[in-house]
Every structure is written in C-alpha cells, then in structure tokens.
Amino acid sequence: MLLFLRTWQLGIKSLLLHPLRSLLTVLGIFIGVASVIWLLAIGEGISRKAQEQIEGLGANNVIVRSIKPPSEVTEGMRGPVPYGITRRDFEAITETVPTISRALPIRELRRRFSYSTRMVDGRLVGCTPEYAEVTKLEVARGRFLSDADVRDKQNHCVLASGTAERLFPFEDPVGRSIHIEEAYYVIVGVMKPRNPTAGIGGSLAAQDFANDVYIPISTLWSRIGDFIVTRRSGSFEGEIVELSQVTLRVDEVKNVLETSELIKQTLASRHRIEDWGITVPLELLEQARTTRLMFIIFMGLIAAISLVVGGIGIMNIMLATVTERTREIGIRRALGAKRRDIIRQFLVETVALSVVGGATGVLVGLTCRPVTGWVRYLVERLLPDVIEQLPEVIKTVEPSVVPWSIPLAFFISVTIGVVFGLYPAMRAAAMDPIEALRHE
C-alpha cells in the first residue's frame, strides 16, 4: 500500500516537473470528456423537449387537419373553393371507427372583437366543452362552454385572458356582451393566462392563446357559416371550410396505429385532393426516440474521435518523456527496477494525466446548464437579431446532463490513459539498462 502510494507520489512529482507540458496534455482529455458530456446533455435537452411536445399532443390522440390545397390543384375552379374536413367526414369517422372514444371538432377564424369603443383582433375558436381540457386551459372566472351551449347554439362566449384584459380593463366581463361580426355574444367565463406552447391542442406549432374567444362550434356554423372571405392583393378570395381540425382520442394506446390507418383510409376515400393532413403523436414519439438514438451514436462518434485525439496527444508526450528520461530509466533498472516496475511508473503518469483530465472534464461538463443560460443571456443582450432567427428549440433548449455519461466519460478517459500509455511505457521497459545508462 505504501509502495503503491509512493509510485503515485513519484509519478505526480515527475509530472509537476513540467507543469505546462502536463497541462497541455491534460487539456486534450479534458476537452474530450467535457465535450462528451456537453454534447450529450444538449442532445438530451433537445430530444426531451421534442418528446415533451409530442407527449403534450397525447399518445392516445390522432389529429386530423384541413390543409389548403396548392393553387395548381384548384386552378380553373370557379368561385370560392371548398376544402378540408367536412362535418360529414367528422360524422363518418366518429360513426365508423369504433375505437374512437372522443372527438373534438375545432374551427378557427381570425376576427375582430369589440366592446363599446375597444377592439381586439384575435382568433375566434368554435369548439366543444372538451377543448379546455385538451388544451389545458383553466377557468379564471365564470365557466367554460357547456354541452347545453353547443346543443342550443347559444350566443355564449368565453374570453381568453388577453382578450378579457384588453376589452375590459376595468370591469368584470362576465355577463356582458361583445360584438363579433354583426352579432352579440354573452360572456360566460374568462380563462387563465397561459404561455404560448407547442404541443398543445394538437398542433406542433407554438400557439398563442392570449387573444382567443371561444364559442360553441354549432353557434359558429349557424351564425358565421363556412364561407370566409380574405383580402388578398386587392381582390377578395373566398374559401369554404367546415372544420379546421379534429382531435380524436383513441380508447387505448395499442389501438392508435390501427385506428389512424382506418381514419386515413376513410378520409382518402372521401377526398379527391390532398386537402387534409393527419398527425399521429405516437408515431412521432417513436420517430423521436429513433432520432435520439441516432443522435447519441453520432455524439458518441464525435466524442470517441476527440478522446482518441487526446489519447494520441498523451502518447506523443509520453514517448518524448521516455526518451528524455532514458538515463533515469537506466539508473532505476541498475538499482533493481524490473521491467514491470518501469511500465508501472510510466503508466501511472499517463493514467494520472488522463484522470485529472477526465475529472476536470466531468466538473466542467456539469456546469453545462448554467453556462448555456449565461451564453443565451449574453447573446440575447448583445445580438438580439441573431436570436430572432434561431429555431425555437435552440432558443429554449435546457441541456440536461445524462447521468450515465459521467461514469462513462471518466471510464473512457482512464482507459485512454492506459491504452495510449502502454506503448511508451513498454518502450521504456524494453530498453537495455547499460545503453540507457550511457545515454546523453
């Protein structure tokens, strides 16, 4: 034990004789290990975010959307072009697919809401009572839409927090009426504010709920109808859309893929053009898992390369050290060192170098999260334009250190020390003691 300590003490002493050289050698392993941990942490952060988004969509859900067909397809058609999911599609799906336990129809329009002299431009959402639960919106005052509202096509509406604040800065909106397109709607409730988030309500794009107004979808259909006019480059263009989106819940996760297949077939048989799209979060989730695996393999490759480069650095230095210390090796051999004593001596030095590199690399790897925070803060401060253009994932990613990457990185660094230290050490041990003594 004493001798063991002594070997280490000696090794470290020798390394400290050349502090700069040792530092530079350590740097290779240090960067390798730190980058393994960082890359994996960032990769994990991104894929976790993606998974959260997809899980937010609900693994049980299948989402069907209306898609405006490209103009080539509709060319030659006269008047307003009808497209997308229809009420009859909705019925066909809910009636023929038995594994669907709940269906949420949604129709969205951009409209102007006004109360006395105040106005807000926002999103008018026609929906059913389940909408609040599916989008995880909570009631602040009053209530959300009820089944009775939908059944009786009531002129009732619920305001999102932003709409409520802007239209009613001073008074309680519940019980008052707002004006939307030639009609008045009685406010029955106000929702709590909510950060714009992706993965909610069946959309992967981040949604801003602040300026919404919710009305029963039946009311929207009867009051406003399917025909919408949009102004585009001076001329008016009409569209006929019955449903913007339908979020369908499948009774059990194991039925999701089969059900989505059935829905696809149903819609395909009813539509001549591709004016609809389907999103199956479960499929996305599986894709995300594969992507994550690929990412880990890719990062592992990069890490392996950087560690090998670090290892070669160690080997290079150790070969130089061995040559430089030929005389010392001769002395030690003359004084009774066996070949394996010499091997051990030099191996201890490489392992010490790589352990120090590994340990500091792990420590710096652990600072990944705060450092990303600071970097983001700095970039936001100094280059706000650049930040604007970055994709959402990069703006919001929270790196999360993968626990197993720490022992792994450490283990690899020690292995690198042994593997790349072995050859120089063996060269040292193979020297003829007499020649080594004569060296210089």
Partner 1 sequence: MKLAASVQQVTKEYVLDGETVRALRGVTLEVPEGDYVAVMGASGSGKSTLLNLLGCLDRPTSGKLLLGEDDVSQLSDDRLSEIRASRIGFIFQSYNLIPQLTVLENIQVPLYYQGRLTARERDRCHELAGMVGLADRLKHRPTQLSGGQQQRVAIARSLVNDPYFILADEPTGNLDSVTTEEILGLLDALNEAGKTIIMVTHEDDVGARAKRIIRLRDGNVLSDARQQQKRKAVIRH
Interface ranges with partner 1 (CB under 8 A): 2-3, 6, 10, 13-14, 17, 327-328, 330-339, 341, 433-434, 437
DSSP letter string, 332-361: HHHTT--HHHHHHHHHHHHHHHHHHHHHHH
Give residue 28's identity as a one-letter amino acid code. Answer: G
Q: How far is the CB of 331 from partner 1 (least distance, A)?
A: 5
User: Toward partner 1, which CB reaches closer, 293 or 430?
Assistant: 430
User: Toward partner 1, which CB reaches closer, 97 or 342?
Assistant: 342
Helix (H) or strand (E) holding 158: strand 156-159
Q: Which two tokens stand for residue 39?
A: 């890359």
- Determine the Cα–Cα distance for residues 97 and 204; give it in Å rounded to an integer: 25
- Tell me which long-range contacts 301-309 makes (C-beta under 8 A, separation of at least 24): 302/35, 302/39, 303/32, 303/35, 303/36, 303/39, 303/40, 303/409, 303/412, 306/31, 306/32, 306/35, 306/36, 307/29, 307/32, 307/33, 307/36, 307/412, 307/413, 307/416, 308/416, 309/28, 309/32
DSSP letter string, 53-122: HHHHH-TTEEEEEE-PPPHHHHTT--SSEE-SB-HHHHHHHHHH-TTEEEEEEEEEEEEEEEETTEEEEE
- Determine the Cα–Cα distance for residues 37 and 404; give it in Å rounded to an integer: 10
Q: How far is the CB of 338 from partner 1 (least distance, A)?
A: 4
Q: How far is the CB of 333 from partner 1 (least distance, A)?
A: 7
β strands within 207-299, DSSP E: 212-216, 227-232, 235-240, 245-250, 276-279
Q: How far is the CB of 342 from partner 1 (least distance, A)?
A: 10
Q: Which two tokens stand for residue 211?
A: 């300026």
For 54, residues 6+ apart whose C-beta sits below 8 A from its C-beta are 199, 204, 281, 284, 285, 288
User: Toward partner 1, which CB reaches closer, 205 or 335?
Assistant: 335
SS3 168: coil
Q: How far is the CB of 13 from partner 1 (least distance, A)?
A: 6
Q: Which two tokens stand for residue 355?
A: 């352990």
User: Toward partner 1, which CB reaches closer, 130 or 328?
Assistant: 328
User: Toward partner 1, which CB reaches closer, 336 or 384?
Assistant: 336
User: Toward partner 1, which CB reaches closer, 194 or 325?
Assistant: 325
User: Toward partner 1, which CB reaches closer, 141 or 439?
Assistant: 439
Q: How far is the CB of 16 from partner 1 (least distance, A)?
A: 9
Give residue 177's identity as a one-letter amino acid code. Answer: S
Q: How far is the CB of 433 from partner 1 (least distance, A)?
A: 5
Q: How far is the CB of 358 from partner 1 (least distance, A)?
A: 25
Q: How far is the CB of 417 from partner 1 (least distance, A)?
A: 21
Give residue 403's identity as a one-letter amino acid code. Answer: P
- According to DSSP, the β-strands at 245-250 and 100-115 are antiparallel
User: Toward partner 1, which CB reaches closer, 12 or 387?
Assistant: 12
Q: How far is the CB of 7 from partner 1 (least distance, A)?
A: 9
User: Toward partner 1, which CB reaches closer, 22 or 203?
Assistant: 22
Give residue 159's identity as a one-letter amino acid code. Answer: L
SS3 38: helix
User: Toward partner 1, which CB reaches closer, 39 or 348?
Assistant: 348
User: Toward partner 1, which CB reaches closer, 14 or 405?
Assistant: 14
Q: How far is the CB of 340 from partner 1 (least distance, A)?
A: 8
For 97, residues 6+ apart whose C-beta sits below 8 A from its C-beta are 259, 262, 263, 266
For 316, residues 6+ apart whose C-beta sits below 8 A from its C-beta are none
